[in-house]
Structure 1
Amino acid sequence: MMKKNLLNPLRALALFTAVIALVFTTSCGDDEDPDCDELTWYADADGDGLGDAETSVMACEQPEGYVDNSDDDDDTQAEPTSNLWELVESTEGLDSLEKYLGVYPDLVATLEAEGTFTLFAPDNNAFIGLLQTPGFPQNIASINPDIIKNVLAYHVSVTLYESSDLTAGTQVATASAGNELIIVNEDGTLKTGSTNQNIEIKTADRAATNGVMHIVGSVMIPPTVGQTLTPILGTNAGTLLLGADFSILAQAILKADTFATGAGLPTLASILSADASEDATKLNTVFAPSNATFEVLADSLFGDNNDEATEAEINSFLGFYSGQQFYGIVANHVIVGQTLGVSDLSTGASFATAASSAAQAQMLTFYQIEGAGDFTDVFIDSNGDFNPTEGTGLNAEVALPNAADSGNGTVHVIAGLLTPIQ
């Protein structure tokens, strides 16, 4: 009886996997051994194994598209027979790019379509550098797929830019949201939203039937992504705003923060990304509903109550609450000033949330009820109406404790929504 009453609004939830999703930034590519012996490599544009004496670079290791001889008397590229997608598939060292692009059929379709496109193709080492960024998740699939898709689209332009067109100051409009720009620096490197402001084109002018591909040494980040998300690297804000399992909560946070900005209140993103390295009062613990919780709620309110929410039902749910309401709801999932572990969540333990005001304290009270839950048997009452006799009034159960630890706190995944006292 207890279990049914506690979890009825959130039936059939599965245990969620741990999520650590952090900002896209790229390493600066300065790992080369300064003591290596640089050799001369010659461009092999036509791929016949013979190099062009007029086009060479100095490098410790053989660059893509270059050979160790200068024996070619005609290095003109043969007429291309592959489109850009086929070129990605057939080019050694682009396996990672092929894998990530393959997740998005519309991006692949663009690279297969007729046209005059430019693809800036990060090689495998570029993705290795990305994964070596401190705090970056080892599984890129754990990041919100919409963010990944936008970053990949930033590497594509619908305009043909051969290397001779990429002169200093050139602005390359991309296929990313808002057609964000890539800027060509004075030295011919590329400026984007990445931490590396001088991204090198390692191999230029790989011709395709529908455009040209340049192989680059770093994953390129749209400027708005870099500006917005770099500050939340390694924080609870990064976990929630980038996590694939928290994409609905992220939309609620963004709507709440639009209200907060206009009302002169601290944004939720600023609270969740606060630097706690020298100020423990900025630590925070988040009890975060995953997408699975929101989908059940959206379906129960706006669908046919089958535990499977459509995109339209989720949008209706997000539109149902105002920014001000979401601000209060999400803030009620945040405890500021301490990092709480499961051992702190004993029966009767109570903590004030970020939704508290001078007029109304908002408290989360915890109860451990053995055998009553689907997950940890640790339950939360967010509005003070728990009735232990009838087993009613609890708002959520901790489903996955310590799902993500960060530099300024921890995130526990919950099954439920912690509505504040009205």
Structure 2
Amino acid sequence: MKALIRLSQITLVIFSFILVSCSDDDDGGSNNTEPTLNIVETAQDNTNLDSLVSALLQADESADNDLVSALIGEGPFTVFAPTNDAFADLLAQLDGFDSLDDFNTQELQNLLAVILQYHVIANTAAESTDLSDGQMLTTLQGASLTVSVQGTDIFIQDATEVDAEVVTPNVRATNGVVHVIDKVLLPQTILDELADIILVPITDLAIANENLQSLVAALQAANGDLPTVLRGDGPFTVLAPTDEAFTTFLNGAQLGDLDVEVLTNVLLNHVINGELSSTDLEGLGSGYANTLATGAGDENISIFFNTADGVEFNGVSEVVTPNVQALNGIVHVVNTVIDIPNIVDHAVANPNLTSLVGALTDGGNTTFTDLLSQDDEVFTVFAPVNDAFTAFTNPNSNDINAVLSNHVVVGAAAFSSGLTNSYVNTAAEFQMTDNLSLYINTDDGVTLNGSSNVAEADIVASNGVIHAVDAVIDLPTVVTFAVADPNFSTLVSALTDLTPSTDFVSILSSQNGTGDDPFTVFAPTNAAFDKLDDIPVEADLIPILQHHVVINNNIRSSILLEDGNTPATTLEGDEIIITRPGTDENIADVTDGSGNTGIGITTVDVQAINGVIHVLDTVLIPDTTN
């Protein structure tokens, strides 16, 4: 009932003047117009102070409070009036509070009244010119406020670490003066009362937690911007290692012994952009997020979470205290410091890659783990998932170590955003001399050698990137590349549908000396076939196709490095001549069996396990007269 009376007192006031804001006069912003509204009426007349008015009414719901009557009284008062945004910021800091209506018990209303009394100085109407740097003001609540004057700016210091700024000074009322501020002021008594529900920035939360003091020390020892970053807007998800976790991580060393940049990156590896609660993570089950740490290619490091048994990160660190809510995110306390993962670490952490790890380390083999743990090299790894290994039958009985090598690109971290239809070289080799090629097609997702699709892209490590794939990439033959590369679709049709009497696929698939391998194939593109008036009939087409194949020889461009002519006899029987340098943009020129010249080799050294392909811009024609 009392609140209704107070509301009536306010709403019955007939306003005759519009509130006059501060000016830039030499008197510090006061104006000489005689005020007609008291402090409460002044607040209600300013729409930017609607939340303050609501707070006054909400506090007066309790029989213990009578703030409205007090501020309508004779005064004089000095009032620091928080804006609507200031009250919104306060509510954002209080866990479980969405509006001022949540102050709905007598105890909470009394707390709200204490907060509001902390904004009132009784028995004085202090305008901005009356305020001085370092001045102490005793509030109606009983605690003190400190004034800070910096040039023409005035700040009010409360019990928190963030000062309030006076954004509109000297709004005069009949019973005092109002200074509009951008923050709700909080006394220490309120901080103590709300300790369990008030949300602070993540850095401050860590400082206040006695089990996270090593983390606080690490933040201070690392890049000086880190504490500021974790006080930022966020939201962040922070994995906070316990003091015991840091003791294990340091293994007798001191924080000062660590390289600052390394320590900074390790700490950033515990920070994820966005807010992920344990419920969010459990809903996802497992997967990857990116931390603020940087890895290969200056990309953000990936972190693997798995909720099969609790919440675990990178297979090494378990959440022991989840969902500690902060003002700018959420904190999960973890029992292990999460170091920056290399490619091997990522493979070991992901249960979907256990078959790959088993194959890499079978029989105590350390070749791959040693290679992929190097920090002075970068890699791209196409990692088959467990189901891919289950489905792989190794039809050509290839050495499994060679097959695994065919999933590794050395010397480049190829991220999905930079992939195009192109060939790259893998760590697998032809006759221990030349690296095999891998064809990447990005027309519809990312497909490798026409048979394996990227299911999970861009798992970023310190020394490279992993792309999880859905099929094991077997060692390619020259047929593999012809089928995989859409630029050879006409050639594939010519070798199969248009020449059914000759099994070119079987011939060109032989390997390990089981046929006429190795082959050197001069492969015409679709555009090369388009130059023909018509594709010849089968009887004429067969010798043309044979004229593009050199058997029992793997002729790479290295043989063609010297300027001059290199003759080669084709499967058809006629000789072709390769000439370096080529004309125009050609790497080399070819003279075919019919004497046609200027045929361009545009791409060289597409290396398969049973031969090599060089790409032509024109179809070769054999000598039809011999």
Report the TM range for the smaller structure's normalisation. 0.3 to 0.5
TM-score (norm 1): 0.38
Who wins on radius of gyration, i.e. which is larger?
2
TM-score (norm 2): 0.27
Larger RCO of the pair (alpha carbons < 8 Å, separation 6+): 1
